[in-house]
Amino acid sequence: MFIFAHRRTLSLLDGEYGSVFKGRSLDFDELRTYVPGDEVRDIDWKATARHGSPLVKRYVAIRRHSVLLLVDTGRNMAAEALSGENKKDVAVHAAGVIGYLACRHGDDVGLVHGNASASRYRPPKSGEEHLERLLRDIDSSISPKTHPSDIAEQLDYVLRFIKGRMLVVVVADEVLPDARTADLMRRLRARHELLWLTVRDADLAPGPDTPGQQDSMDVGTGHGIPLPLAADRAVRAAYERAMNERAEQRGALFRRLGIAEQQATGSDDVLTAVFALLEKHRSGALTSRGGAKRGQGAD
Amino acid sequence: MELTYWWILPLAAAAVAVSTLLYLRRRRPLPTRPVAHGDRLTGLPEYQHALRRYRIRLVLAALLSALFLLAAAITAARPALRSTEQPEIRNRDIVLCLDVSGSMTSTDAALAAVFKDLAKEFDGERIGMVIFDSSSVQLFPLTDDYDYAQEQLTHAEKALVDGAGWFFDGTWNGEGSSLIGDGLASCVQSFPDADTNGTADTNGNEDTKRSRSVVLATDNFVSGASIFSLSEAGALAASKNVKVHALNPSDMDYGDDPGQPGAQLKAAAESTGGSYSTLESPDAVPGIVRQVQETEATSYLSAPRSVVADAPAWPLGVALLAGMGMLVLGRRTGL
């Protein structure tokens, strides 16, 4: 498993991804006329015979790609996930799985994380030790006492400061992107490969037999939500309607932007969610190759 | 309205204050689960609506519990009603003194019927009954066993209406008939604590403070020699603080000669401070008895005495209502 790249890598180091450079690989790219200096063994003799002048075969060089983990480490991530775990654990788990896949694939892994007030960047490097450091970074910076989350800051940071093409994997919660965020996502999608893994938020109005039978506290605002209110039948019905609507809005937005998005409810299904995300991204690549710029129908 | 243990109120206030203080100081935040994007729920108009109702209910519950505490504290402080009462109204002794000579039976029957009815309302009064003709028989002594008195009065009424039978046994042992003086004297003697000295005990013990009255029904037609004359019996009654209310069904007096039987009876009755009434028919008996009762009632109001009675009903009622309100709220709110 690896993250499929729609576009060729700009990296110079050897790897597994098709590069913008020519080199030695199994991936035939083109024929061109021989110029002095080309290696004689590259000459395609059959083509030369048909053509009359020497032609050389050119292959796509395979190079490394950089995977950039873009993780929300604001206060919101210290809250509860749908499974009842801490979203932080789910996020670390997801980042770990993606990073490990990238490591095994021989890619570099970098990290951008932060909250509404600041973003931090750890440049891509190879090796599991580096990945370990990144995961520790994520783990230590998420706490209920940090600044609130704003994923738009991190998106903006990547757009502003990170040159080159990367495989950007966003790990965030169930935020409903506003217009500015959507615009940033669109621009990011145009420049990089963008994958979006959503860690689902806790059910705010759980039914009587489900976990979460206690008062809730919004980590963002600090307001409490008394359980009797959340358990109220009318409120629950309205909440369910609103959540369906919200999920539809989110789905429509990601579809419109052509970003592969997958949701993980807890640590248990992080693995399946990541694989489904990679598969979705790859197949989205196949179907939207032609119209990748506008990206209709990523799934 | 006053509080017997008024100091409980500041004590309760202090207890509430201290416990509130302790609670506030030791309160640990309830375990809550942190969630993100709470506006997913809190932004809903349904939630806002529910929140408003929830707040109202909480405020109501707080008010109710405050009310409950207040009512409980007031109850603990023993609210009492201080009132002035005239308890003497009800400690009368009445002896029915019935002349059962032949001419009197219908009046006697009416009297017995009236007192049978009155006995139902008695509370504290004692009633006794003596019948006499030439000798007197105590039918039943002064008693507050109203069931018994009523039963006896029923018997008496029946016998008096029938006009014959064992009921009259023992009333002809003397010589002559209708010995009113003797009859009245024995009625007066039937007050159990009769003073042996024969002097009115005006400042004496509790029992002589009970008002005493004799309802004497007679026509005062004496035949035969009695031991007590009517006036002597009247004097005896007066000396024992007994008022004699005489009912005469057949006042045949003509003119104002004091020697006539009606006038004698009137004089004797009034000498004891009692009253004298003539009856046109037995039907008038109830009215006259009521009248006598009323004058008795008014004339025996003693000095008002202050009485302190516990009145826990309303604070307990308020506490009960508040508690029930809290239960209902608790059920609906899930507190």
Please indicate, yes or no, whether residues B7 and B70 belong to a single structural domain of this protein. yes
Q: Answer yes or no: is A246 within a domain.
A: yes
**Minimal CA–CA distance to A76: which of A223, A154, A175, A181?**
A175
What pLDDT, on a 0 to 100 scale, did the predictor assign at position B93?
80
Q: Whole-angstrom Cα distance, residue B324 to residue B64?
A: 9
Chain-centroid distance of CA B20 in Å reads: 50
In this prediction, residue B200 carries a pLDDT of 43
Q: Does some domain include residue A282?
A: yes
Residue A18 and residue A114 share a domain: no
- From A199-203, B271-275, B319-323, the region with the lowest mean pLDDT: B271-275
**Model pLDDT, residue B119:** 75
CATH number at residue B109: 3.40.50.410
* Cross-chain Cβ contact B54/A242 below 8 Å: no
Task: Give a yes or no: residue B30 inside a domain.
Answer: no
Q: Is residue B49 classed exposed, middle or buried when 0-12, 13-18 and 19+ CB atoms within 10 A define those classes?
A: middle
Using a CB–CB cutoff of 8 Å, tell me whether B34 touches chain A.
yes
Interface mutation vs chain B, best among A82, A199, A225, most B CBs within 10 Å: A225
Q: Are residues A140 and A182 in the same domain?
A: yes
Q: Are A78 and A87 in contact (CB under 8 A)?
A: yes
CB contacts, 8 Å: A216 with chain B: 32-35, 38
Q: For A226, which of B35, B36, B54 is closest by C-beta distance?
A: B54
DSSP track, A67-81: EEEEEE-SGGGGSBB
Query: A275 and A170, same structural domain?
Result: yes
**CA-nearest residue of chain A to B333?**
A228
Q: Which residues pair with B140 in a beta bridge?
A: B129
> DSSP of B105-161, one letter per residue?
HHHHHHHHHHHHHHHHH-SS-EEEEEEESSSEEEEEEEE--HHHHHHHHHHHHHHHH
Predicted local confidence at residue B301, as pLDDT: 59
What is the C-alpha radius of gyration for chain B, rounded to an integer number of angstroms? 35
Task: Identify the bridge partners of residue A23 per DSSP, sorted by sequence position.
Answer: A59
Number of domains in chain B: 2
CA dist A288 → A19, A184, A205, A284 (Å): 20, 20, 38, 6
* Model pLDDT for residues B56-66, shown as the tens digit of each residue: 988 999 999 99
Helix (H/G/I), strand (E/B), else coil: B299: helix
Residue A251: inside a domain? yes
Helix and strand tally (H, E) in chain A?
Answer: 8, 10
Same domain, B180 and B283: yes
Handedness of CA B202, B208, B210, B215 (dihedral sign): negative
Integer Cα distance of B299 and B266 in angstroms: 20
Alpha carbons B216 and B128: distance in angstroms, whole number: 12
Check: CB of residue B38 under 8 Å from CB of residue A149: no
Residues A227 and A126 placed together within one structural domain of the fold: yes
Nearest-Cα distance to chain A for B23, in Å, is 20
Do B76 and B100 lie in one domain? The reply is: no
pLDDT digits (tens, 9 = 90+) for B75-93: 888 888 888 776 555 667 8
Q: Write the pLDDT tens digit of every residue in B244-292.
A: 888 887 776 676 677 777 888 888 888 888 888 887 777 777 777 777 7
Contacts of B41 in chain A (CB under 8 A): 204-205, 225, 230, 235, 239
Q: Are residues B262 and B137 in the same domain?
A: yes
Tell me whether residue A271 is in a domain. Answer: yes
Neighbours of B268 (CB within 10 A): 27
Alpha-carbon distance of A142 to B334, in angstroms, equals 34
If asked whether residues A97 and A46 sit together in one domain, one would say no
User: Domain range spanning residue A24?
Assistant: 14-63
Question: For residue A293, what pLDDT is reported?
Answer: 40
Answer whether A223 touches B (CB < 8 Å): yes
- Same domain as B131, residue B71: no
Give A-chain residues touching B42 at CB under 8 angstroms: 218, 223, 225
B255: in domain: yes
> How many percent of chain B have pLDDT more than 90?
14
Strand partners, A279: none
Pick B36's closest partner by Cβ from A173, A212, A226. A173
In one-letter notation, the amino acid at residue B249 is: P
Residues A149, A171 share a domain: yes
Residue A226 within a domain:
yes
Within an 8 Å CB–CB cutoff, is residue B54 touching chain A? yes
Same domain, A260 and A168: yes
Residue B287 belongs to some domain of the structure: yes
The whole-number pLDDT of residue B324 equals 92
Q: Other CB atoms closer than 10 Å to residue A105's CB: what's the count?
A: 16
Which of B28, B30, B32, B35 should we substitute to test contact with A (largest number of A Cβ atoms within 10 Å)? B35
B211: in domain: yes
What pairing do the DSSP bridges indicate for beta strands B2-3 and B79-85? antiparallel
| Whether residue B125 sits in one domain with residue B249 | yes
Determine the pLDDT at residue A298.
38
- Asked if the structure places residue B109 within a domain, the reply is yes
CATH number for the domain spanning A107: value is 3.40.50.410
Residue A211 domain flag = yes
Give the pLDDT band (50/70/90) at residue A271: very high
* Helices marked H in chain B: 8-26, 39-42, 45-76, 105-121, 146-162, 180-189, 230-239, 261-271, 285-299, 313-333
Chain A: closest CA distance from residue B2 (Å): 43
Residue of B nearest to A224 (CA): B32
Whether residues B33 and A77 touch (CB distance < 8 A) is answered with no
B58 CA to chain A: closest CA distance, Å? 12
Same domain for B298 and B188, yes or no, is yes
Going by pLDDT thresholds of 50, 70 and 90, the confidence category of residue A122 is very high
State whether A92 and A205 are in the same domain: yes
* Together in a domain, A177 and A220: yes
Nearest partner of B137 among B126, B149, B129, judged by Cα: B129
pLDDT of residue B296: 66
d(CA B150, CA B138): 15
pLDDT at A242: 93
User: Looking at residues A70-90, what average pLDDT do you find?
Assistant: 91
A44, A63, A82 - which closes a domain:
A63
Could you tell me if residue A294 is inside a domain? no
Q: Which of A31, A63, A95 is the last residue of a domain?
A: A63
Domain count, chain A: 2
Of A134, A71, A139, the C-alpha closest to A103 is A134
User: What are the residues whose beta carbons fall under 8 Å from the beta carbon of B87, sequence distance 6 or more?
Assistant: B302, B305, B307
Rounded to the nearest angstrom, the minimum Cα separation between A228 and chain B is 6
In contact, B129 and B153? CB cutoff 8 Å: yes
Residues A187 and A48 in one domain: no
Nearest-by-Cβ selection for B47 from A144, A224, A229: A229
User: Which of A155-159, B31-35, B317-321 bottoms out in mean pLDDT, i.e. has the lowest?
Assistant: B31-35
State residue A198's pLDDT score: 94
Q: Are residues B99 and B213 in the same domain?
A: yes
Residue B32 lies in a domain: no
Residue B33 lies in a domain: no
Which residues are within 8 A (CB) of B9 and not within 5 positions of it... i.e. 6 or more apart? B3, B73, B74, B77
What is the C-alpha to C-alpha distance for residues A87 and B45, in angstroms, rounded to an integer?
A: 28
Distance to chain B for A157, nearest Cα, Å: 23
Do B278 and B129 fall into the same domain? yes
Please tell me whether residues B234 and B153 are part of one structural domain: yes
B180 and B291, same domain (yes or no)? yes
Using a 10 angstrom Cβ sphere, with 0-12 exposed, 13-18 middle and 19 or more buried, the burial of residue A7 is middle
Under an 8 A CB cutoff, do B31 and A144 touch?
Answer: no
Find the range with the poorest average confidence among A46-55, A67-76, A101-110, B104-113: B104-113
Residue of chain A nearest B54, judged by CA positions: A229
Quote the pLDDT of residue A104: 87
Q: Reduce the DSSP state of residue A167 to 3 states and report it.
A: strand
Residue B198 clears pLDDT 60, i.e. is over it: no
B50 touches A: beta carbon within 8 Å: yes
Task: Tell me, yes or no, whether A105 lies in a domain.
Answer: yes
Q: What is the pLDDT of residue A296?
A: 39
In the three-class reduction of DSSP (H, G, I as helix; E, B as strand; rest coil), residue A92 is classed as helix
Is residue B16 one of the residues assigned to a domain?
yes
**Are B35 and A216 a contacting pair at CB < 8 A?**
yes
Task: Provide φ and ψ at A194, rounded to 5°.
Answer: -125, 120
Contacts of B28 in chain A (CB under 8 A): none
Residue-level pLDDT at B69: 92
Taking alpha carbons only, the member of A137, A197, A142, A134 closest to residue A167 is: A197
Domain membership of residue B66 as a residue range: 2-23+39-83+309-333
Flag if B33 and A243 touch (Cβ within 8 Å).
no
Tell me: do A103 and A174 sit in the same domain.
yes
Judge if B214 and B74 occupy the same domain: no
Q: Are residues A243 and A112 in the same domain?
A: yes
| Cross-chain residue pair B46–A229, CB shorter than 8 Å | no
Q: Are B73 and B312 in contact (CB under 8 A)?
A: no
C-alpha–C-alpha distance, residues B320 and B326, integer Å: 10
B61 vs B163, which has greater pLDDT? B61
SS3 B329: helix
